[in-house]
Structure 1
């Protein structure tokens, strides 16, 4: 099957998500047809029914193109997929019979919908804002690790970057499709933990929560470590005697301010756009300086650094770092929930992945070409000191300080939804107080962990291996197959899914072992000193 046909199929299937409003509120419950009379009586007794229209952001669910009527659910709420899907051969030798979409039935179900949950969230984010939110999270500190990853893999790292970007776009689409899995209640899921529960029950929820929260909080720790490190390097030349750990605490306090102010993902739009611009500046500076001042120019009396085509031993370890550079899965449900046109999500995620892949190839190729096996992580420590390096460090510091609240916001929104921390339940003043207190406690805990493990490179590898790879490549595919059934994908897509799972498993296991070994060495070295 040609790559173009495969991409077209993925994008078309991804666009089967509701076009405008369904993901925002999670407030409508699709009632079974068998209970129509009873529900109608309850609605009449309750009073006038709120009109379901675009302005009301109603939860009108479009039947996925892969499904038949939702009235065919069995007693457990699952779709009888084996009865609904029939594969047939087409002109290309592979095909499938399109599932029937009964528009009349869909309209009947929409008319039966009743509002039972919280008021709908605002859906006011356009393409650019959503694109900026995704890229701001993805492109962060990971770009500074790419040249070092190339030093571990050789030039084959170029292929790994391209492959990782494509995997990220594909699993990003699967993630959002899982949110629209129509279970017994028929409403949109909110987050990864809910996807895990819908697919594998309570233990699936617990496992997904573990990796989800580890990724969100662990990445924030990395941001604090990196910011404190760069600020310490910048101000130490000016005679400021504050230690790196003190600067890490100051950074955490600065990060706390937007955490206390921002409430929803759509409110972080300006921050995301500024963070995107800051990342672009950093990548341009690092790329230009690497080309202008390579290792042979900086150290003419030293042997030239080595370059390799492929280093097989380093591929699994470097793979986890490259995957981390494309990871942002935990924020996808919240970004999509704020989109004015959810149908544009496939375009948003693939545009973001392509943009990030191009940026990573620029900085990765330039950094590895200039410094070879002598490159360090972050790459800004390899380029010569001076005004450009200073500007880059200032910009990346600003970026991670901005990106951290967005990353934490995805964690906060899930907790607040689970604990029902809403103005409707607690009142505006009490809700603000409770939200402010628990968000502040989380920032304090994250800061404490950052102070205890100030080893950026190895800590990055550990987090990316355990949490990022799992959330990025494994959970979306496994949950998607569980929720929709194996018949939902043709044979060539199943092969791709197996490949994605294999890549994710190797990167997770091998990368974690290597990162733990390096962290132990770091701790032993610090204790000996």
Structure 2
């Protein structure tokens, strides 16, 4: 094992020769000696790195093909965030929105590439078959400046915390979204009920989907969801493209005070850190995930193009009247928009388990299961899954504002998971070997951290302020 500073999770085992493992254990408990030790065995590590390919040593229980991974990537990206993109353009202006969507989305995907490459580099360097995000953070900090090494475990816990909060928040947003759309139709064809009752009625169906334990078995849900959502988007676009006003009637830019809400919405829409990392770990050929024409790039290029055009066309069509969900701008008394609402609600319903997989994986596999006896694990796991669904419904009932909740979750969690933490990992992983010509890698890491800090703080403050004002007006 590497060090007592790393949590004793079952699959974290660094297979280097015993004499070096003992030496490393002794050195890492004295932070100043860790860097010196690494320099002394640098040559040896470089040799075993060449001979070790972590992808070969990964044994996923139910691995996925490249196409199945591609479908899940599209599914986790094409969610409720897309429906909020036109409103995001309303906060930024159409020109600023176009440029910013492409820049922010590409920047975040690039940060994910850097993070995934750092994970693979650490796996090769220390002969580890598999590292998750929090373990990567802990090991990277131990490779960094000596004064940071005592903080390795707290950093790892923070990663797990924000991953759980983010993906749990996504599920809360999904509950709100499904309930609001069901209420629209229920009020038309049945009796008018409180939206909170619709949320409560969703609990049992969501529990049934969330009891599915493996990503492999969620692929059919992803296929159904993708088909429904694509058809729905086709219907929405048919309304967007009709009766377009002059583009001069729309603002090319808006006040900077509204831009943080745009930033948070784009982050929420485009990013799904935990799912992106989990999918690579569960692939048959994880080496095909990265690269210029890898599975990740192919999926995200399509998503970015679609998000950019969808947000632009929605704002062009509806202007300042754009709703937090573009579905609310459609003529809901017509049958076609009603069909779109049903299809999108079903599509998001089938996406709930995919987003919740990350939260459950962290809580159960890395914190609860190692402490339990074998014969007690399965039944208790199902109870935990049920509890998470109930908790997401209760949070949704308490905070039912869709647009602002979405922006807050995106700003608060994703700025850290998608930008700040990848910057810290990269800063530490490259600490010993240097940062390249003109310290490019150092400045790249600092750029990730700075953009994440400013965007996350500004977006969170703006979202909380808007939520506070809204609830104050209701009192």
Aligned CA distance change for structure 1 residues 35 and 460 (closer, same or farther; 3 Å): closer
Distance in 2 between the 1:165 and 1:32 partners?
42
Structure 1 partner of 2:349: 401
Query: Per the alignment, in what secondary structure is the counterpart of residue 289 of structure 2?
Result: helix
CA distance in structure 1 between the partners assigned to 2:19 and 2:410 by the alignment: 48
2:128 alignment partner in structure 1: 187
More helix by share: 2
Over the residues paired in the alignment, what is the CA RMSD in angstroms? 3.5
Residues 1:197 and 2:147 aligned together:
no
Name the counterpart of 2:192. Answer: 241
**Contact 1:156–1:309 (8 Å) recurs in 2:** yes
Give the corresponding residue for 1:34.
19
Distance across 2 between alignment mates of 1:206 and 1:459: 24
1:263 aligns to 2:228 (yes or no): no
Q: Deviations over 1:209-259 (max 9, x none)?
A: 221111011111000001100000012100233321111112232111111
2:283 to 336, 339, 348: 339
| C-alpha displacement of 1:73 | 10
1:169 is the counterpart of 2:119? no
Partner of 1:323: 267
Q: For residues 455 and 284 of structure 1, what CA distance do their matches in structure 2 show?
A: 26
Confirm or deny that 1:514 pairs with 2:462: yes
1:446-465 mapped onto 2 (5 Å cutoff): 446-465=392-411
**Partner Cα distance (1:363, 1:387) in 2:** 22
Query: Structure 1 residue 495: deviation in Å?
Result: 4.0
Give the SS at the match of 1:487. Answer: coil
| CA distance in 2: counterparts of 1:285 and 1:274, whole angstroms | 17
The corresponding residue for 2:415 is: 469
When residues 81 and 401 of structure 1 are mapped into structure 2, their CA distance, relative to the original with a 3 A threshold, is farther
What is the rounded CA distance, in whole Å, between the counterparts of 2:28 and 2:325 in structure 1? 51
1:460-487 per-residue CA deviation (whole Å, 9 max, x = no partner) reads: 1111110122212211121222233272
In structure 2, distance between residues paired with 1:81 and 1:308? 59
With over 3 angstroms needed to count, the CA separation of the structure-2 counterparts of 1:197 and 1:423, relative to structure 1, is closer
- Judging changes above 3 Å, is the alpha-carbon distance between structure 1 residues 312 and 494 closer, same or farther for their aligned structure 2 residues? farther
Of residues 174-183 and 138-147 in structure 1, the stretch that sits farther from structure 2 once superposed is: 174-183
1:102 counterpart SS class: helix
Larger RCO, structure (CA 8 Å, separation 6 or more): 2
Higher mean alpha-carbon deviation, 132-141 vs 276-285, is at 276-285
CA contact (8 A) 1:422 1:431 kept: no
Task: Return the offset for 1:396.
Answer: 1.7
User: What does the per-residue CA deviation read over 1:389-425, in whole Å, with 9 as the maximum and x for residues that have no partner?
Assistant: 2122112211221111111111111222223538995
Deviates more, 1:379-388 or 1:336-345: 379-388
Change (3 A) 1:327 1:291: same
* Distance verdict in 2 for CA 1:99–1:503, change over 3 Å: farther
Q: Contact 1:316/1:511 (CA < 8 Å) preserved in 2?
A: yes
Q: Which residue of 2 aligns with 1:102?
A: 47
Q: What residue number does 2:28 align with?
A: 76
Query: TM-score, normalization: structure 2?
Result: 0.83
- 1:433 is matched with which residue: 379, 385, 389? 379
Gaps of 5+ in 2: 1-9, 142-150
Take 2:219 and 2:286, find their aligned partners in 1: how far apart are those partners? 17
1:273 match: 223
